[in-house]
Amino acid sequence: MKKRYLLVLLILLSIISLFIGVRKISLQDILRFEDAAMRTMVLSRIPRLISLILAGMGMSISGLIMQQLSQNKFVSPTTAGTIDSAKLGILFSLIVFPAANTIVKMLISFVFALAGSLLFMFILRKIKMKNTVIIPLIGIMMANIIGSVSSFFAYRYNLTQSLSSWMQGNFSMVIKGRYELLYISLPLVLIAYHYTNQFTIAGMGEEFAFNLGLNYNSVVNIGISIVALISALVVITVGRIPFLGLVIPNLISIYYGDNLRKNIIPTALAGAIFLLFSDILGRIVIYPYEIPISLTVGILGSIIFLYLLFRRNH
């Protein structure tokens, strides 16, 4: 699939997204600048659309970077402990800094996500048998341990409901003034694009990178920092979004191969398309009610993941 087709599909889904909701808005209302319709668009629909696109792009590129650095197609922020570490960071901020604003919570979540990701990469470097399945299993085990710690302290401080509300992937609460942090992901995507060649070399191993004169640790730290910050931004803004960083890079690699620089733009577009489609589906299945994005993405993502597994076995 060519990039221009992905771009056209993204534009079509974006237009559809703007006109789906409990309040019916027609094109005529917009052309006439009808007051209530314009307020709905500016305060709710457009912020929701922008957050969907930015979150989809950011999480899919994060998965692409993780898979490249680990040289494993089953690694992503959700299978490397990044998201669960960000969750622990949110819990820490709720306990220690209950009156902190969203920016402070995001920074704390980023620090925890970065620490969890670096721990995963450290463990990965110590493992001699880097089996395709063992590596993500280790990440899932680490994520479960971190998640268990979060659950323990959430029960201990009676913050289970608060933590669950932060982590439930849901774009219905996105309005003007509650999504702008996601704009930070745009320069992060540009930085990721700038470092694509370095990430490719680093993914070939520390010794190979050293022979080519690349500072392996520095490049890996930059990549992991980008992944951790994007993950923290998305979790703070809309919650946990499963499978996105796992299945989208794999789907793109089927059509475009494994060239990171060539894949990064299609991966970003496909991630935004997938998240937009999932959100639209969740808004129309039981209209006028909504299904949380984490549920629709989880179902569609698991189906795609099974397809990828069966395709790999053949």
Using one digit for the tens of pLDDT, what is the confidence trace for 20-79?
Answer: 887 888 778 787 878 888 888 888 889 999 999 999 999 999 999 999 888 888 888 988
- pLDDT of amino acid 1: 57
Q: What percent of the chain has pLDDT over 90?
A: 39
Residue 164: predicted pLDDT = 83
In sequence order, the β-bridge partners of residue 240 are 168
* Residue 313: per-residue pLDDT: 58
Top-confidence residue, 183 or 209: 183
Average pLDDT over residues 198-223: 86
Q: In this predicted model, which residue has the larger pLDDT, 274 or 138?
A: 274
Distance of alpha carbon 151 from alpha carbon 97, whole angstroms: 18
pLDDT at 3 over 90: no
For residue 168, list its beta bridge partners.
240
pLDDT value at position 38?
87
Please tell me the predicted confidence (pLDDT) of residue 239: 84
Query: Tokens 């500072």 identify what position?
Result: 215
Average pLDDT of 83-99? Answer: 91
Q: What whole-number distance in Å separates Cα of residue 70 and Cα of residue 65?
A: 8
Give the per-residue pLDDT at 59.
93
Q: Find out whether 269 and 50 touch, Cβ atoms under 8 Å.
A: no
Between 127 and 43, whose confidence is greater? 43
Q: What is the mean pLDDT of residues 93-106?
A: 88
The confidence band for 279, taking pLDDT boundaries of 50, 70 and 90, is very high
pLDDT at position 64 is 93
Bond into 288 cis (ω within 30): yes
- Residue 142: both structure tokens together: 């680490």
Q: Indicate if the pLDDT at residue 130 is higher than 80.
A: no
3-state class of 38 per DSSP? helix
Residue 314's pLDDT is what?
Answer: 55
Which pLDDT score, from 0 to 100, does residue 52 have?
92
CA distance 152 to 154: 5
- H-assigned helices in 42-133: 46-70, 82-96, 102-126
Query: Which residue matches tokens 């979540």?
Result: 109
Question: By mean pLDDT, which of 40-49, 129-138, 262-271, 295-304 is the weakest?
Answer: 129-138
Task: Output the pTM of the full model.
Answer: 0.89
Compute the distance between CA of residue 71 and CA of residue 253 in angstroms, rounded to an integer.
Answer: 13
pLDDT reported for residue 312: 63
Band (260; pLDDT cuts 50, 70, 90): confident
pLDDT (average), residues 278-303: 88
What does the mean pLDDT of the chain come to?
87
